[in-house]
Amino acid sequence: MIMQRLTLGAAALAVSLSITPGGVLAADDDPVVATVNGTKILKSMLVTAQQLLPEQYQKIPLMQFYPALVDTVIDMKLSAADARKKRLHETKEFKVLMSRVEDQMLQRTVLQAEVDKALTEEALKRRYDALIADEKSSTEVHARHILVKTKEEANDIIEQLQNGASFEVTAKERSTGPSATSGGDLGFFGKGQMVPEFEKAAFSLRKGKFTDTPVKTQFGWHIIKLEDRRKSEPPSFESIKQKLQTEISQETGAEYVSGLRKEAKIERFDLDGKPLPK
């Protein structure tokens, strides 16, 4: 099944194999894996093809779908040779298409160059340090809650709790929220994870205390009890390195294009070719 899926998927990549920039293998590591009418197909072409596949396939050893990729490149070479024989590469339509492809590849290449300059280990560490500095003051709370439909019912429950009723047992018996089965336990959560009204009440409580007035949210009326409070543990650098790389890459690309736009004279027209108002 994997060979069939990759044969179909790789066919869509065939055109990209010869134009997509990427790492080039050293001569000793780039053997000929096939020939088509005397034209050599190199291992590097298959490596590039694998890099263009979905992420789950990039992690699979190349040998597992090696035959499918070789067949894809062979088909590409045969089709391209036949197209040249028919002089399709000299048609106006093909030249327009190649102009578009060239623009796309140049855009991709220049954006990658800008990202490579910005994506240094030092930049990643600075981004990480700034993130950790923000999280050093972060606090998480462990809370339980009882959710009911009316304020009157919530006040009745508060009175029972003040008279010694168990919060956990009462939550199991009367809460309408999904956490009722676990005694209203919500576990630990940080700021920004709950609706504002709930968060404000939970973070204002002292450990072991519950709200003495009902807290209204879009879900109903809550009685909230604070079980514990702790400083949140920051993520390790390695665990979020990929996320930081993505953030810097996206920001760098956006800033680069924005800079080009500021220096350019751009005019826009509607579908009839008439200038649009500025």
How confident is the model at residue 16, as a pLDDT? 41
How confident is the model at residue 137, as a pLDDT? 57
pTM comes to 0.56
Query: Which has the closest alpha carbon to 101: 223, 15, 207?
Result: 15
Using DSSP's 3-state secondary structure scheme, residue 127 falls into helix
Query: Distance (Å, rounded) from C-alpha 225 to C-alpha 142?
Result: 9
DSSP letter string over 48-64? HHHHHS-HHHHTS-GGG
How confident is the model at residue 113, as a pLDDT? 96
Question: Dihedral (C-alpha) 153, 156, 162, 166: value to the nearest 10 degrees?
Answer: -60
How confident is the model at residue 17, as a pLDDT? 40
As a CATH number, domain 138-231 is: 3.10.50.40
How confident is the model at residue 189, as a pLDDT? 93
What ranges do the domains of the chain cover? 2-86, 88-118, 138-231
Average pLDDT by consecutive 10-residue portion of the chain (278 residues)? Answer: 42 39 54 91 85 80 86 90 96 96 95 96 94 74 97 97 97 96 95 93 96 97 97 87 95 96 91 84
How confident is the model at residue 100, as a pLDDT? 96
How confident is the model at residue 9, as a pLDDT? 44
Q: Are the CB atoms for 70 and 46 separated by under 8 Å?
A: yes
Query: Which has the closest alpha carbon to 189: 133, 146, 223, 145?
Result: 145
